[in-house]
Amino acid sequence: MAANIRENRYRVEGMDCASCASKIDTAVRRMPGVEDVSVSVAAGTMSVKHADDGDLAANIVSRVGKLGYRLHPIAAHQKPAVVAIHTCSGDHDHDHPHDHDHDHDHGHGDKHEKHAHTNDHEHQHSHTAAGAASSQQPSSHAHDHGPTNGPWWRSAKGRLTIACGLALAAAYGLGHLVPATEPWIFTLAMLVGLLPIARRAFAAATSGTPFSIEMLMTIAAVGAVFIGATEEAAMVVLLFLVGELLEGVAAGKARASIQSLTALVPKSAYLERSGRVDEVPADSLAVGAVILVRPGDRVPADGIILSGESAVDEAPVTGESTPVHKAVDDALVAGTVNGDGALRVHVTAAASDNTIARIVRLVEEAQESKAPTERFIDRFSRYYTPAVVVVAALVAILPPLLGSGVWSEWVYKGLAILLIGCPCALVISTPAAIAASLSAGARRGLLLKGGAVLENVGKITAAAFDKTGTLTEGKPRVTDIVGFARAENEVLGLAAALEQGSSHPLARAILQRADELKLQVPGITTVKAIGGKGLEGVVGAATLFLGSPHAADDRVPMSPDQKARIAALNDEGKTVSVLISGNEIIGAIAMRDEPRPDAAVGVKALTDAGIHVVMLTGDNRRTAEAIGRQFGMEVRAELLPQDKQRIVGELKKSGFNVAKIGDGINDAPALAAADVGIAMGGGTDVALETADAAVLHGRVSDVAAMVRLSRSTMRNIVQNITIALGLKAVFLVTTIAGITGLWPAILADTGATVLVTMNALRLLRPVQTA
């Protein structure tokens, strides 16, 4: 973006229908100096890229104010640089004695390195002038569109609807008592609701939207008065206001779904400072602060555990139903619930930049980006409404001119068709469904960058998975303990004694297994690394060696049975370390980066959905095929990053719509080449810089859930378009046939809009992730 272009984001007060968004978009886009406008009904936000001119920012607020809405600037938050450290778990090319020289030391395995990611898309933001203009905006401009927060009757729109309803009730009462005054009384009752509508219609027309629903409504109501249908005119205005109010309530529900995530973060936190613990507002916590999280409390900030361990309930944020055990150096997410242990936590993100804030911001920005279907409907509606206005004019004029009826009858029908012609229900059909779907996905840890991505996910026919950290857990685990001359637990205990203090992934796997079995690990007298071969140390009176099978065989020749047993383990894709005591081979330990618990279910769900699944990995073929066999999937192994990119391109040329699922870092070329790039876990910043979507919890089954969410969304959109166009078609025919009049005509639009919105809200139901 050029240096003299700024981007402002606003919260739009009172915008709750597609017609509102369209008017605002058109009005702002026509202003000189404005480069681009993006308006989201679902999020209630607007982003404007414009020339670096303080007066222009103020003029934007003023122009939107005249349409009946208030703009409130949203403060810009720059994303901090993120350092993601991923440990290798397939091939281990570290300077460590466990770099065994058998087949697992393949030269270009799935190695993860330290990556520093900074946001290359930081823009200049200017909110000062906009904020000043917002505060100066006369309140009279906003009385038609009150805030949708709080009870509906407290909003300006709610009060207007109530006033119009009371006026109509009074008109019915007085008209009953004095029938001669009925036309005037109903006209006055109609004007209570119509005057604000007419003013908005005029503002929209002068801002580039002549065929707004307010304009059609005004023409229809005034026309009805002229042909003597004053009672119907007043009722139509009331029904219109009720419909708008219902739209606002429904839009508020969709908006609240994602905003409710922010309510998960507690208001206060317990801050350690100067040797004491003080209760402070959670949003005042700075990066680097140390806080105490008591048992049962919600976590007030993102952070790293300094001391303590506990089971943490992550369901509110990620949808993970089982509490996750957390200990020192594990990450905590704001809004999750601490279990039964007290935790001291180092804060790593301010309130405005914690995981929940980033998710909310991401979803709101995603809702501003239009899906292909939505863009098509928008283009269609630009021609649809003028076409209906022409049809209405022809219906009102032609039959009387041709002598086929009286003027009042056909003008009445023409006015009814005008009301049918508003595209509100049609225009909202797509964004309402997409907004609800993005919100529902986010609440389950399924993040998508926008409507276009949401559409494309449902179209995928091939899914290419990375292995390490995607299909597998990303860290080795002990799978087999073989006791050749000692008991299995003794073999593991002695190996753990040699590995004490090591941070190598294989060492951690041995130590973790010993800890799980609660083994007493003997003390070690001396230990030294023998380059490229293994570890040697003294435990008690015994000299121990732990290393690769080849190095062990050089020290103490292995028997054919021992070699056969180790070869069998290698064939299963496992790394084997052999333990020697003195001059005797006493045991072996096999380790492997094991599949995620839900990987088999997730792969099967994709296969059942008709999606071809393939593994693309840099790991050696034997290891990769051992994992692939468990899932019954095609395996492409020993690949460099450019090879993965090439294979994705080949799949696309073969006619597949390809999703690439990886860690979001070392798979960047393939993620970019795919139709949809999906990052598995790893933190939202890293994942979303490199991919179109992210599975925050790292479940393989969530990829299938994302596909199901997309396909159910597209079905919902088709239903919405059918409702919108179907109701209009029915009422168009019945109106021309003289069966229905003005009342049903307004229901054809506002009623359809409410039905479409409520149908879209069904997508807010929990996403099935398994």
**Catalytic site positions:** 466
Whether 719 and 759 have beta carbons less than 8 Å apart is answered as: yes
β-bridge mates for residue 679, sequence order: 662, 694
Tell me the two tokens of residue 97: 């004695």
Residues in contact with 573: Cβ distance below 8 Å, sequence separation at least 6, in sequence order: 592, 622, 623, 624, 625, 626, 627
β-bridge mates for residue 588, sequence order: 482, 578
Q: Name the CA dihedral angle for 148, 150, 152, 157, rounded to a multiple of 10 degrees.
A: -40
Tell me the two tokens of residue 101: 């020289």
Q: What is the DSSP letter of 665?
A: S
Q: Where are the beta strands (DSSP E) in 438-583?
A: 446-448, 462-465, 472-483, 526-530, 534-539, 542-547, 575-581
Whether 580 and 555 have beta carbons less than 8 Å apart is answered as: yes
> Tokens 């607020």 appear where?
61
CA distance 583 to 589: 18
CA distance 89 to 506: 8
> Tokens 């570890």 appear where?
535
CA distance 216 to 416: 10
Residues in contact with 684: Cβ distance below 8 Å, sequence separation at least 6, in sequence order: 355, 358, 359, 362, 447, 694, 696
β-bridge mates for residue 701, sequence order: none
Residue 401 burial (CB count, 10 A):
9
Helix (H) or strand (E) holding 591: strand 584-595
CA distance 419 to 401: 23
Tell me the two tokens of residue 593: 């980066």
Residue 576 burial (CB count, 10 A):
24
| Whole-number Cα distances in Å, 190 to 165, 228, 742 | 10, 13, 14
Helix (H) or strand (E) holding 614: strand 612-616
* Residue type (1 letter), 635: V
DSSP for 323-350? Answer: PEEE-TT-EE-TT-B--SS-EEEEE-S-
CA distance 636 to 628: 10
Whether 24 and 60 have beta carbons less than 8 Å apart is answered as: no
CA distance 156 to 161: 9
Residues in contact with 263: Cβ distance below 8 Å, sequence separation at least 6, in sequence order: none
CA distance 7 to 480: 58
* Residue type (1 letter), 19: S
CA distance 706 to 457: 7
Angle at 91 between CA 89 and CA 95, to 5 degrees: 95
The 3-class secondary structure across 102-141, one letter per residue, is: CCCCCCCCCCCCCEEECCCCCCCCCCHHHHHHHHHCCHHH
CA distance 299 to 341: 12
With residues binned 3-state (H G I as helix, E B as strand, rest as coil), the percentages for the chain, rounded to 5, are 50, 20, 30
| Whole-number Cα distances in Å, 243 to 39, 174, 281 | 22, 26, 41
Q: How, if at all, do strands 331-332 and 303-307 pair?
A: antiparallel
End-to-end distance of the chain based on CA atoms, in angstroms? 42
